[in-house]
A and B are shown apart, each in its own frame.
Chain A
């Protein structure tokens, strides 16, 4: 079916500003992705999947400028022993990055892969993204696969002694970054991936994660404080038998953030948890879009998303659990909640369950509410000042999501960021 004119012209206008890099072994995947993108077109306001989030500034030929935020405060994860991989406005920075050698893992730059005809990443690049295009189209991910400028391929074969930390620095007010990473976790291997930083004025990022039987990947991400930045991110994760994927995202500020998680449980007894905590004030729009497919027996999935919104901020949650026929003994849980600190903020939620197996336990809930006045009075009656009491209750509201982070030190760091935000915004 031909695309509507508006969509086609918007798509071509955007494509005109993009150039496919020297493609090497990713050439076929990139060209296929471009063809996919041309067939589906970039998202428009009328698309059901973009009903709550305006894609305009994510698809415009040039990004709106975004002021660079500076702070002397230590950055998130600063105190942690980790292998740092730094990108500045979407370009790998060797001088800011650590040596990429670490036992149990091999890391290559996307640029180096592109020069080779044969590389393991060829089996993954664009593959999970393409699988994730059905049943719902994700054009920005196809655009990413076709035009990614940089990224890394991480092959985890053992249990590296420290987390791999992807750091995205934003230095130019008009940068338009497209990054694509691929991660393959081999059987029995285990890794922690950290991500932080605002990246660019506009950031399109895609990660494809393939976890083999018995592999484990922990992911903790902090999306930072550059207020005017815009980001559309995708994580496509495929889980093998008895594998584990746990992802947590903290978002503070940002005029527009859309985080999509597409998870496919393809091996029995696999576990996938995706969680997020976001705090937004004023001109803030945050969208969590999650699609979890159960396609194996006795798998567990959890979605825990909490949003604190004030001064007209908007939160969106679109979360789906799809249980395919035969995916018996599925245990699916989904909760999305917002704490609205005033009457001007809004939370738009669309929880969905689609179940074709008969022996499953799936639950979902979504709530919006204000601070519990009774609890607030209780705290104040014990001498806790109103502001401090409100902050305590706000952190308590977010706790269920933060508790999804297994590593206690990382969780503490995230909580301290939330405390910082509350201190600045109350």
Chain B
């Protein structure tokens, strides 16, 4: 589904290479996790895939079901089925959460040549999805993420994911800033979306999240490359011994 080949990325404004040849394939129905120390390029990878400004791809490719992601505008990537759950969800004063969700859902449907959801159908759907994430009516009415707690913001990301039903979900440190209960709730939301047609890329520092969202494959990223790939046991190894041993072994 998601195929990244030899991806090299530098900052647009300065001569700083962040990704130095990332190779990664996420198959439909699988959950891949990327772990790695601070500054290894994990978040950059998620931003480059979703099309944020400020980065320059100098080499390599990234495709989603064969379509060249790097050629697309961010909204085209979204319509093609890519979703990024932000590490720091953005507050947008003056835009109601519900309006935002409806605009996004319908914009994607329109881009794919599907019919827009009626107000009634949308409302029914959003209420149902919100309920399972314990998002109340008030949170839906408030401006996007404004005044939300850390947990509420992350739940709101998962709600967007549930509404947009993307093919490929990237979760960028979705566990950061969450207490255990909130993390469980978020993980349940993600697990509910797991199915054969959908791929996940879960970026995290910690094994904890992976107790709740069980990965099929775990990658270790360091200095802009994937340096080791293994099964879930790799995450446990990191949890017990830190990155030092793994990195020493690789080097």
| A interface residues, Cβ below 8 angstroms from B | 373-375, 377-386, 388-389, 392-393, 395-400
Contacts and interface: CB of A to CB of B under 8 A. Distances in A.
A383 B111 contact: yes
B107 A383 contact: yes
Contacts of B103: 384, 388, 392
Given A386-B73, A393-B95, A377 B78 contact: no
Which of A375, A378, A399 counts the most B-chain CB atoms under 10 A from its CB? A378
Given A373-B53, A378-B86, A388-B103, A383 B108 contact: yes
Given A377-B53, A380-B78, A386-B73, A399 B86 contact: no
A150 B79 CA distance: 58
30 contacts: A373-B53, A375-B92, A377-B51, A377-B53, A378-B89, A379-B92, A380-B75, A380-B78, A381-B51, A381-B78, A381-B86, A382-B100, A382-B104, A382-B160, A383-B75, A383-B78, A383-B79, A384-B75, A385-B75, A385-B111, A389-B75, A392-B95, A392-B103, A393-B94, A396-B95, A397-B94, A398-B94, A399-B93, A399-B94, A400-B94
Contacts of A377: 51-53, 74, 90
B220 interface: no
A385 B90 contact: no
Contacts of B108: 382-383
Contacts of A381: 50-52, 74-75, 77-78, 83-84, 86
Interface string B69-107: 000011101110001101001111111000110011101
B164 interface: yes
Contacts, number: 80
Given A380-B75, A382-B78, A383-B111, A375 B90 contact: yes
A378 B100 CA distance: 11
Contacts of A399: 93-94
Given A382-B160, A384-B107, A385-B107, A393 B92 contact: yes
Interface residues of B, number: 31
Contact of B164 (A375, A383, A397): A383
Interface of B: 50-53, 73-75, 77-79, 83-84, 86, 89-95, 99-100, 103-105, 107-108, 111, 143, 160, 164
A356 to B, nearest CB: 34
Nearest to B85: A381
Which of B50, B77, B90, B143 counts the most A-chain CB atoms under 10 A from its CB? B90
A40 to B, nearest CB: 42
A378 B78 contact: no
Given A378-B86, A395-B94, 5 more contacts: A379-B92, A380-B51, A381-B75, A383-B78, A399-B93
A396 B92 contact: yes
A227 B83 CA distance: 43
A393 B94 CA distance: 8
Nearest to B109: A383
Contact of B104 (A383, A395, A400): A383
B244 to A, nearest CB: 34
A381 B111 CA distance: 13
A380 B92 contact: no
A55 to B, nearest CB: 35
A383 B104 CA distance: 5
Contacts of B83: 381
A374 B94 contact: no
Contacts of B111: 383, 385
A192 B55 CA distance: 53
B75 A386 contact: yes
Which of B74, B83, B86 counts the most A-chain CB atoms under 10 A from its CB? B74
A396 B99 CA distance: 11
Nearest to B74: A380
A381 B51 CA distance: 8
A377 B88 CA distance: 13
B88 to A, nearest CB: 9
Nearest to B84: A381
A361 B75 CA distance: 45
A378 B107 contact: no
Contacts of A392: 95, 99-100, 103
A403 to B, nearest CB: 9
Contacts of B99: 392
Contacts of B104: 379, 382-384
A392 B93 CA distance: 11
A378 B94 contact: no
A337 to B, nearest CB: 12
Given A388-B107, A393-B92, A393-B95, A382 B53 contact: no
A380 B111 CA distance: 13
Contacts of B105: 383
Nearest to A402: B94
A91 B59 CA distance: 70
B137 to A, nearest CB: 19
B51 A378 contact: no
A426 to B, nearest CB: 15
Contacts of A378: 86, 89-90, 92
A385 B91 CA distance: 19
B164 to A, nearest CB: 7
B182 to A, nearest CB: 21
Contacts of A388: 103, 107
Given A377-B74, A392-B103, A397-B94, A382 B164 contact: yes
A189 B90 CA distance: 45
Contacts of B164: 382-383
B160 to A, nearest CB: 6
Nearest to A394: B94
A392 B100 CA distance: 9
Contacts of B92: 375, 378-379, 393, 396
A397 B90 CA distance: 15
> 8 smallest A-B Cβ distances: which pairs?
A396-B94, A383-B78, A383-B108, A399-B94, A382-B104, A380-B74, A378-B90, A396-B95
Contacts of A395: 94-95
